[in-house]
Amino acid sequence: MRRVILLVIGISFFIVPLCSAQLAAGEKGKFTHADTLRGSITPERAWWNVIHYDIHVTPDYASKSIRGMTVIRWQALASGKTLQIDLQQPMRILSIRWRKSTLKYKREGNAFHVYLPKTVKKGSIETLTVNFEGTPREAIRPPWDGGWIWTRDSLGRPWMSVACQGLGASVWYPCKDHQSDEPDSGATLSITVPDTLVAVGNGRLLEKSAPAGGMTTYTWKVVDPINNYDIIPYIGKYVSWHEDYPGEKGKLDCNFWVLDYALDKAKEQFKQADSMLHCFESWMGPYPFYEDGYKLVQAPHLGMEHQSAVAYGNHFANGYLGRDLSGSGWGLKWDFIIVHESGHEWFGNSITSNDLADMWIHESFTNYSETLYTTCQDGVEAGNDYVIGTRKNIRNDKPVIGAYGVNDEGSGDMYYKGGNMLHMIRQMLGDEGYKGLLHGLGTTFYHKTVTTQQIEAYISQFAKKDLSKVFDQYLRTTKIPVLEYKMNSATLLSYHWTNCVKGFDMPIRITVTGQKEQWITPTEDWKTLSLGTQGGAGADTAKENPVAPMGNTAGTGTADTSKPGMSPAAGAVQAGGNGSGDGNFSVDRNFYITVKKLG
């Protein structure tokens, strides 16, 4: 269990209330007892903490079956004698041993209640050895449909792997399958395959041995904490090459594993890993797993953020399977899978949500890393074009935050809507401020599991402004806030927020004819702004940057209109909700809102 830290903030209005999560409670009655066993900290999970997994697996390609053993080293956080171990049907546990004794256990669906013969005292460090076998669920459409992948490469040779985020690692090996408990000291994965194949895993290759019968065992070791679903074997006709990256913490070992016939095109496409690492270390801080290195591994599916062994299946081409998800043109200038899945090393792998309901912490920040990379490559306005272009993918079907304790992810809007929310926060902080925020998050929550309350509170504390209503609006409702405004006279503007949560007071950047760009802070109550003199009598006080601790204004810079997706009017507004104002008043396009003129 990576240490879960509680962020205490001295000023009370920065505290994000726990009850706010009830806004995303989900549909009553749609969850089952099995969902609770899978998604909650049951009493049989709460009293013990995983220290290390030692996983051994031997797949049989012909029968699509596996057999193996998981050795779980754990520590008692309190006294107890019954544990919950997870392994999904139709997989079977053959035996569980503890202190040389074979234990009794009872299966309840995908959970096993394991009974120790005597109480283990708090602080005791113990080991369970679990033998298992079976035909794991097969992934038919990976990575969206999880399970083992049994396929062939283009030359007809066996190619195997696993994709199981959300579904859970217990789809193939016995573990404590809850996102909040990662092995403190990492894991080892020993994969035994025919000696005609190569097996790749997370971290570093510890040992290669040759047991009898034409088989080879590859043992890989991770020393950093790791998500259960990130521990993955890749099996095929792999070849590799090594490069050193001069990173923020010194030399970073980078290894690239691809099928033998893909070597030349992979060496060309994977050059983007260098610029990705440079950009992300600049924006988000040092790569979080120097101890285990960085790998890209060609996979028999599109891609997944497997820690220190990122799965890649984008056909060595730019875009997302050749498409630009933003429609701006900028998304075709880089390889989506290299950028997005590697971004998860910072958000998702180093910083992990305790509950699947808070997956926005993984996906919103990583979605926005695409914008940061575009900015690194082609400038601020290119990045703005990219993130604004993704708004067409927002569905507003249900809240981004899901139901807690039942393994529920919430809306897929965690990607594009969450990314646009972070883009607005970046406008408020400025580029240097936002960079400082990401570095601070990466340092404070380094290798930890967290709650949304911790992340929200940290951002408010860093911004020196209570942003809880912004999070409530964009994470816990499906409403796009509406800025209503009207001209009381030729020199007096009135405005307020509607279609919003109570107390919503997000600041926005506006332009009024004849005046320079300025900030206003609307509320649900009407405010007025004098158009005669900026910030004059009766005006909402306008600041260059209302919450930025670093004092740098984001979103400024000259647009290069010769590049794809750029518009000479980029600074004038298209606020994500179909309205920008009129010839006298407009809202910066970087804010995902609706603007409505009255009267």
| CATH code where residue 274 lies | 1.10.390.10
> Can you give the pLDDT at residue 516?
86
Residue 4 pLDDT > 60 = no
> How many structural domains comprise the chain?
3
**Of the residues 236, 263, 293, the one at which a domain ends:** 236
Q: Is residue 27 part of a domain?
A: no
446 and 299 in one domain?
A: yes
- The partner residues of 353 in beta bridges, in order of sequence, read 450
pLDDT band at residue 549 under the 50/70/90 scheme: very low
Q: Is residue 397 part of a domain?
A: yes
389 and 258 in one domain?
A: yes
Under a CB-based contact definition with an 8 Å cutoff, are residues 90 and 61 in contact?
no
352 and 216 in one domain?
A: no
pLDDT digits (tens, 9 = 90+) for 170-212: 999 999 999 999 999 999 999 999 999 999 999 999 999 998 8
- Spatial CA neighbour of 167 closest among 452, 2, 408: 408
> Can you give the pLDDT at residue 514?
72
Average pLDDT over residues 243-271: 98
Residue 342 pLDDT > 80 = yes
**DSSP code at position 461:** H
Query: What distance, in Å, lies between the first and last C-alpha atoms of the chain?
Result: 58
Q: Is residue 509 part of a domain?
A: yes
**Of the residues 236, 265, 282, the one at which a domain ends:** 236
pLDDT band at residue 80 under the 50/70/90 scheme: very high
550 and 452 in one domain?
A: no
With pLDDT > 90 as the criterion, what percentage of the chain qualifies?
83
Stretch among 168-182, 229-243, 393-407, 578-592 having the lowest mean pLDDT: 578-592
Q: Is residue 33 part of a domain?
A: no
> Can you give the pLDDT at residue 478?
98
CATH of the domain at 111: 2.60.40.1730
Describe the strand order of the beta sheet including 234-236 as a list of residue ranges. 147-152, 158-163, 234-236, 198-200
Q: What is the pTM of this model?
A: 0.90
**DSSP code at position 265:** H
**Of the residues 458, 478, 498, the one at which a domain ends:** 478
Q: Is residue 62 part of a domain?
A: yes
207 and 282 in one domain?
A: no
Which residues are within 8 A (CB) of 126 and not within 5 positions of it... i.e. 6 or more apart? 73, 74, 75, 76, 98, 99, 120
Average pLDDT over residues 457-481: 98
pLDDT band at residue 490 under the 50/70/90 scheme: confident
Q: Is residue 290 part of a domain?
A: yes
513 and 523 in one domain?
A: yes
Stretch among 248-257, 386-395, 423-432, 567-576 having the lowest mean pLDDT: 567-576
Mean pLDDT of the chain: 89
pLDDT digits (tens, 9 = 90+) for 215-231: 999 999 999 999 999 99
pLDDT digits (tens, 9 = 90+) for 508-521: 999 987 788 999 99
Average pLDDT over residues 280-300: 98
> Can you give the pLDDT at residue 547?
60
> Can you give the pLDDT at residue 41?
97
Range of the domain at 546: 480-556+569-599
275 and 213 in one domain?
A: no
β 294-298/250-259 pair status:
parallel
Residue 545 or residue 119, greater confidence: 119
Residue 1 pLDDT > 90 = no
> Can you give the pLDDT at residue 305?
98
pLDDT band at residue 489 under the 50/70/90 scheme: confident
Q: Is residue 474 part of a domain?
A: yes
- Spatial CA neighbour of 561 closest among 296, 379, 317, 358: 379
494 and 471 in one domain?
A: no
383 and 514 in one domain?
A: no
Q: Is residue 6 part of a domain?
A: no
> Can you give the pLDDT at residue 513?
79
Average pLDDT over residues 353-371: 98
263 and 220 in one domain?
A: no
Residue 567 pLDDT > 70 = no
191 and 155 in one domain?
A: yes
- The partner residues of 69 in beta bridges, in order of sequence, read 56, 131
Average pLDDT over residues 243-262: 98
Residue 18 pLDDT > 80 = no
453 and 359 in one domain?
A: yes
> Can you give the pLDDT at residue 599?
82
